[in-house]
Amino acid sequence: MLASLFLIGALFTTPQMSVQAASQTVVEDGSGGMTRAVNRMIGGIASYVRWPDGSAASTRVMCLVGTPRLTDRMAPDIPGPGSIAVRLMNAATATDRTDCDILFLGKMPVADRRQLIAWVRGRPILTITDDDAACIYGAMFCLNNKAASLSFSVNLDAIGRGPLRIDPRVLRIGGGGGSS
Amino acid sequence: MTAPNQPRIAERIGPRTTLQKLLSRFHFGITLFAVALSGLTILLAGVTALRGYADRNMELAAQLGAYGVEPALVFNDPHAVREGLEPLTRIPGIARLRVLDDRGRPLTQWTSPVADPAPVLTRIFFPRPFAVSVQRNGSPIGTIEVWGDSSTLIDYVRIGLLAGLGCLFITALGTIFLARRFEYELVKPLNEIATVAHDVRLHRRFDKRVQPLGIAELDRLGGDINALLDELQGWQGHMESEHALLAHRASHDTLTAMPNRAAFDEQLAERIAAATAHGDRFALLFIDADNFKAANDNFGHTAGDTVLVAMSTCIKETLRKGDFAARIGGDEFIVLIDPLDTEAVPDQLANRIRACVSQPIALPGGETYRAAVSVGVAVFPDDGDNATALLTAADAAMYSDKMTNRSS
């Protein structure tokens, strides 16, 4: 009993050891390796996010703005039940819509990105980008590929401002890199 | 003939032991049995409970590990898996950890740097790893396996063994204490009985009795022994009085109740020895009745006896303290005047006896008789320094006195 309590305590008090992005997802060799890794990572992140409106099992809409750098076949893979529907659009369309649960920011002009980040603030929308290795431009999760591996960083400021609740274990893996 | 029989007797009796040793052994056996029984029970219960706790601990560790590595498995990230396992590596009693992905391929594993203190215990208690499936939204994404080791059990076993030794020590102490108590309460009263019996047998102390001991069975035994001693004491007393009577009869003349010849010889030898040793002197009077045979013939033996009793009474009356008189023959008496000092002049004493005897004696037939005696005096060591010489001298003196009496 005591040991288990100690264990739970230890789980949350473990100092975050790495400054760099902690996640080091193994990317398989071959043409589809990076695509699978990216889709799995986005699905994984989404599965640890709680939207204020409902259950984890429901279908989420991912609005894709700009050009993804890591893959051109974006189809996030959520473990277990639930799925993510991908909608391609430009920045202006995205701010008009109301059904976006996830906003993926690909490569885009700086002004568009700034506008979108500002629009997202306060809304229950998860922001993910693959065009911000240092994770400093306001997206909550930043994907980054490094020498045959894929990793993600977490921007705690951006998460803290939003109404989304994210499993702390994911934040720990993200290592809080690029923020605070 | 007796030699071949001896071992058989020894065999039948067997090695001897004391009651205390017997009780001590008995107590030790019982206490040891009780301690062993309770110790075994506690050990079994403890091991069962401990095994339950150890199992639950492993299971809990596996569950926590599953919780910790779940996101890492989702992201297929071995580094994060290792980090997720880190809290588990600090729990004592975990020998090995392994995480498999959804296709059963090992993603990462960790082995404790601490060597297993007792591999046998580990094999008994943790024959298989605890495997917990890691799930995300209901679908399995991997497996975590936890192997336990005996490091937590070994402490329990060690404490158990120490406690067992302690119990043995306390058992030994308790046995000694109980044996001492029993010695006090049982062996001591028994010893008292034995002491009384021993005293009675060895020193003929028939007046000894067993005191009340406060234990019903022993008191009954003591009571029986006391009753037996009462009987023995009665017999002993009877025997002593019989013996005294016989001894008196052997040394005394029945008619006059005076010491006889045998007693006189003994007395004379003692007094000669004492006088020789101290340089003292004493006198011996040889007294013989005159014409006693004629008195016997004329008046009958009963009258003779009466005369003898009267003579003995006269002689006894003249004796002082320390003097000794005996009847050594039919009408012969002897008086030892000892010590011989200025106040005790033998001739005066002889005259007093003569005077006393010459008083008329009433005979059974109604007649009266006047007896007369002849007295011879011999003084030790002047007239003889041994019994024979002294008696001869006294006899000679008496004889001359008798001649003088006859002629006058």
Co-location of B370 and B238 in the same domain: no
Co-location of B167 and B283 in the same domain: no
Whether B37 is covered by a domain: the verdict is yes
| B17-B23-B24 Cα angle (round to 5) | 95
- Can you give the residue range of the structural domain that contains B309? 261-407
Specify the pLDDT at position A55: 62
Kindly state the average pLDDT of the residues B262-267. Answer: 90
Contacts of B383 (CB under 8 A, 6+ apart): B389, B390, B393, B394
Co-location of B297 and B324 in the same domain: yes
Show which of residues 185-244 on chain B sit within 8 Å of chain A, judged by CB atoms: none
Q: Which residues of A touch B84 (CB under 8 A)?
A: 169
Residue A8 touches partner B, C-beta closer than 8 Å: yes
Quick one: which of B134, B154, B152 has its CA closest to B144? B134
Q: Which residues of B touch A167 (CB under 8 A)?
A: 71
| β-strands B361-362, B368-369 pairing | antiparallel
Q: Of B210, B225, B249, which residue sits at a domain end?
A: B249
Co-location of B346 and B276 in the same domain: yes
Co-location of B178 and B299 in the same domain: no
Co-location of B241 and B284 in the same domain: no
Specify the pLDDT at position A6: 46
> SS3 for chain A, per residue?
CHHHHHHHHHHHHCCCCCCCCCCCEECCCCCCHHHHHHHHHHHHHHHCEECCCCCCCCCEEEEEECECCCCCCCCCCCCCCCCEEEEEECHHHHHHCCCCCEEEECECCHHHHHHHHHHHCCCCCEEEECCCCCCCCCCCEEEEEECCEEEEEECHHHHHHCCCEECHHHHHHHCCCCCC
Quick one: which of B100, B107, B98 has its CA closest to B79? B107
Specify the pLDDT at position A125: 92
Contacts of B170 (CB under 8 A, 6+ apart): none
* Contact status, residue A7 vs residue B87, Cβ threshold 8 Å: yes
Whether B111 is covered by a domain: the verdict is no
Q: Of B249, B278, B312, which residue sits at a domain end?
A: B249
Whether B237 is covered by a domain: the verdict is yes
Co-location of B286 and B388 in the same domain: yes
Co-location of B186 and B288 in the same domain: no
pTM: 0.54
Per the CB < 8 Å rule, is A37 touching B91?
A: no
- Residue A63 binned pLDDT confidence (cut-offs 50, 70, 90): very high
Residue A122 touches partner B, C-beta closer than 8 Å: no
Residue A90 has pLDDT above 70, yes or no: yes
- Best of A28, A41, A143, A169 to mutate (most B CBs within 10 Å, chain B): A169
Rg (CA), chain B: 55
Question: For chain B, what percent of residues have pLDDT higher than 70?
Answer: 95
Co-location of B213 and B237 in the same domain: yes
Structure-derived torsion over alpha carbons of residues B325, B327, B331, B332, reported in degrees to the nearest 10: -60
Helix (H) or strand (E) run with residue B98 in it: strand B94-101
* Number of C-beta neighbours around residue B213 at 10 A: 18
Number of domains in chain B: 2
Per the CB < 8 Å rule, is A17 touching B83?
A: yes
Give the CA diameter of chain B. 171
Residue A16 has pLDDT above 70, yes or no: no
B331 given a catalytic annotation: yes
Co-location of B322 and B178 in the same domain: no
Co-location of B389 and B277 in the same domain: yes
Work out the mean pLDDT of chain A and round it to a whole number: 79
Quick one: which of B67, B64, B91 has its CA closest to B149? B91
Per the CB < 8 Å rule, is B71 touching A170?
A: yes
Convert the pLDDT of each residue in B294-309 to its tens digit: 888 888 888 888 888 8
Work out the mean pLDDT of chain B and round it to a whole number: 85
Per the CB < 8 Å rule, is B137 touching A56?
A: yes
Specify the pLDDT at position A139: 92
Residue A19 has pLDDT above 70, yes or no: no
Per the CB < 8 Å rule, is A17 touching B60?
A: no
Whether B181 is covered by a domain: the verdict is yes
Active-site pick, B323, B331, B338, B401: B331
Whether B139 is covered by a domain: the verdict is no
Residue B258 has pLDDT above 50, yes or no: yes
Residue A107 has pLDDT above 60, yes or no: yes
Residue B81 touches partner A, C-beta closer than 8 Å: no
Give me the total of CB pairs closer than 8 Å, taking one residue from chain A and one from chain B.
90
Residue A7 has pLDDT above 60, yes or no: no
Per the CB < 8 Å rule, is B136 touching A80?
A: yes
Residue A91 has pLDDT above 80, yes or no: yes
Q: Which two tokens stand for residue A172?
A: 């720990």
Specify the pLDDT at position A31: 67
Convert the pLDDT of each residue in A20-52 to its tens digit: 344 567 777 666 888 888 998 999 899 889 888
